[in-house]
Amino acid sequence: MVDVSTSPTALAILAPLTRAVTYTRWLHLLMGAVVAAVCGLVYPGLFDLRPADMLWLPVLPVLPLVAVAMVPATRLAEGLQARLLLTPGEHARHQQGHLAPRIAAAPSASWGDRGRTALWLVLRLEAGCLTALLSLQLPGLTAALFDAASQGTPAPVMGVRIGGHHWWYALLAPLPLAALMAVVVAAGTLMTAVATRLLGPSAAERLAALEERTERLLEHNRLARELHDSIGHALTVAVVQAGAARAAGSAEFTDRALAAIEETGRHALEDLERVLRLLREDTARGPADRPGLADAERLLESARAAGSTLDAKVSGPLEELPGPVSREGYRILQEALTNVLRHAGPVPVAVRVDVAADTGSLRLDVRNPLPGPGQGRTSETSVGTGLGSGLRGIRERAALLGGAAEVGPYEGEWRLSVTLPADRGRARTTAMA
């Protein structure tokens, strides 16, 4: 004997009845009949309806609904309602960022959107009227069957009166309710599929969402590069300073080293706080709050405090540089000095920063002696291999701004040479691209 209560087929049939989405979709279907009910109050009236009068209920509201669909905000309202009632679980996951929405929640942006919204409203009206009719009449049919089985006088249902009194009417009584639930489940599933087609994101909306997601990923990658550069520089300076202070054995030198570590750490914490604020989508601070080449002296002092003998020369109007060039130039210089300290130690470093108005370019040149055998590693693979770090990160920053970076041994030294466009038009175009 098969236990129906635990058979897979019975469980599959009854499973929709245990899901909340079945009943939210039922509510959504019934709400579609509200407009018909309001119009029915005007004509032909909702009391003592004849079958012919009932045919007017799903017809009269069609033209008003088409007119309402021409209002752009109608699509936004319908999309939000469909998300909440037709796909409540997916809506919650979408709000948490784990799922792309199948139903858009945006005003109509084209006549195509308005046309699809009008078709959706008409279909929702007809499905709502049919569901409302069955939701009222089928339970009434069940009650009528029970009355007929118990020798009562059943009221007519949909104009049909059940004749006779038979005990087996009680066996048929659950069938109308089962049919109603089957209709509700099927209609809810069908309307959800229709909503994804008629209220789903248009091609333009999908493209805009893809562009927004791409921009967000690029912004996160940029923030990761900045965090690497800032924290990596601070840690490198701290390690070099601590090692030098321990080797020097001088209280005065140790005080200077601790002061340099404190200052570098403070700036790193400021950068960390700014990046975390941006990751939390706090827009109170913008790109202008990021350091630029006008703050390059902070980097030079940090390198000097780490023990490097710095020969720095800065020429040209740094304050006139475009914002993206100034900010990326600062990070490139920071990464270059960090690499020197990390891989060559506190060696003499020559830094040249030149803004050439005649050529419309910014030149950054950083040179240091090649370390002897066993003193450090200067190969490109050892300086940085991660995304946004080391020499590859420098090349990426330069390429994004339409510039170029050259690195390698040059005349017995290790040289990093970067050229960036300094004219505002070209820098703005490459930064936006």
Does position 127 have pLDDT exceeding 90, yes or no? yes
Q: What mean pLDDT do residues 298-327 have? A: 82
Does position 337 have pLDDT exceeding 80, yes or no? yes
**Least confident piece of the model among 160-164, 323-327, 395-399:** 160-164
Q: What mean pLDDT do residues 144-164 have? A: 71
Does position 209 have pLDDT exceeding 80, yes or no? no
Residue listed under structure tokens 């209609």: 187
For the chain, give the percent of residues with pLDDT over 70.
Answer: 74
- pLDDT for res 192: 93
- pLDDT for res 343: 78
Q: What mean pLDDT do residues 283-303 have? A: 71
Contact (CB, 8 A) for 421 and 403: yes
**Least confident piece of the model among 64-73, 125-134, 201-210, 298-307:** 201-210
Q: What mean pLDDT do residues 109-121 have? A: 92
Nearest to 25 by CA among 201, 181, 202: 181
- pLDDT for res 81: 92
| Greatest mean pLDDT among 174-188, 267-281, 349-363 | 174-188
Q: What mean pLDDT do residues 96-125 have? A: 83
pLDDT band at 284 (very low <50, low <70, confident <90, very high): very low
Q: Determine the residue type at 132.
A: A
Does position 208 have pLDDT exceeding 80, yes or no? no
**Least confident piece of the model among 128-132, 165-169, 317-321:** 165-169
Mean of per-residue pLDDT scores for the chain: 77
- Please tell me which residue, 64 or 14, carries the higher pLDDT value: 64
Q: What mean pLDDT do residues 227-236 have? A: 72
- pLDDT for res 429: 43
- Secondary structure string (H, E, C) spanning the chain: CCCCCCCHHHHHHHHHHHCHHHHHHHHHHHHCCHHHHHHHHHCCCCCCCCHHHHCCCCCCCHHHHHHHHCCHHHHHHHHHHHHHHHCHHHHHHHHCCCCCCCCCCCCCCCHHHHHHHHHHHHHHHHHHHHHHHHHHHHHHHHHHHHHHHCCCCCCCECCECCCCCCCCHHHHCHHHHHHHHHHHHHHHHHHHHHHHHHCCCCHHHHHHHHHHHHHHHHHHHHHHHHHHHHHHHHHHHHHHHHHHHHHHCCHHHHHHHHHHHHHHHHHHHHHHHHHHHHHCCCCCCCHHHCCCHHHHHHHHHHHHHCCCCEEEEEECCHHHCCHHHHHHHHHHHHHHHHHHHHHCCCCCEEEEEEEECCCCEEEEEEEEECCCCCCCCCCHHHHCCCCCCHHHHHHHHHHHCCCEEEEEEECCEEEEEEEEECCHHHHHHHHHC
Does position 402 have pLDDT exceeding 80, yes or no? yes
Q: What mean pLDDT do residues 347-374 have? A: 82
Report residue 85 as tokens. 């009632």
- Please tell me which residue, 221 or 325, carries the higher pLDDT value: 325
Does position 430 have pLDDT exceeding 60, yes or no? no
For the chain, give the percent of residues with pLDDT over 90.
Answer: 19
Q: What mean pLDDT do residues 49-56 have? A: 72
Q: What mean pLDDT do residues 388-404 have? A: 77
- pLDDT for res 63: 92
- pLDDT for res 385: 33
**Least confident piece of the model among 7-11, 265-269, 372-376, 417-421:** 372-376
Does position 245 have pLDDT exceeding 90, yes or no? no
CA distances from 236 to 15, 249, 260, 336, 339 (A): 61, 20, 12, 12, 9
- pLDDT for res 372: 60
pLDDT band at 114 (very low <50, low <70, confident <90, very high): very high
Strand order in the sheet with 349-356: 310-315, 349-356, 361-369, 413-421, 404-410
Contact (CB, 8 A) for 299 and 351: no
| Greatest mean pLDDT among 194-208, 229-243, 286-300 | 194-208
